Amino acid sequence: METTPGAFSLLLDAGTTRVDELVEELGHEPNGYFWEGVAQFLISTEAQTLEGRFSYDPEGDMFCAYGDDRSALEELATLMSSVATDGDRMRKLITSAEATGFEFDD
């Protein structure tokens, strides 16, 4: 969404996705901080070109990424949507992250 002219935010209400129960089963809390970790891991493994193109401001009940690069946020939205709606993809992401020593801040 465009919050002010030229400034954009990507929001996700934590606790409202199809994979929340799975995330909890895998030992994590599906809060805004967890989703920031998902975004960071996705960028580091699948979309390095997004690195540094926006900032994060999560809270317990919401994930937020923001900046002036609308296309970068739209690309992140596509990546995150694919994880938030697909249990197999989420399971693989968490397993891969933990195998590399990545820690979710949840």
For the 2-96 domain, the top CATH level (class) is alpha beta
pLDDT in the model for residue 86: 97
Contact between 35 and 41 under an 8 Å Cβ cutoff? The reply is no
With a CB cutoff of 8 Å and minimum separation 6, the contacts of 37 are: 97, 102, 103, 104, 105, 106
> Edge-to-edge strand order for the sheet containing 2-4?
2-4, 7-13, 62-67, 55-56
Q: Structure tokens of 45?
A: 């493994």
- Which helix (H) or strand (E) is 79 found in, with range? helix 70-84
Q: Where exactly are the structural domains of the chain?
A: 2-96
Q: Spell out the per-residue pLDDT of the chain, length 106, in tens.
A: 889 999 999 999 999 999 999 999 999 999 999 999 999 999 999 999 999 999 999 999 999 999 999 999 999 999 999 999 999 999 999 999 999 999 999 8
The model's pTM = 0.94
pLDDT at residue 49, rounded to an integer: 97
* Look-up of token digits 């590399």: 100
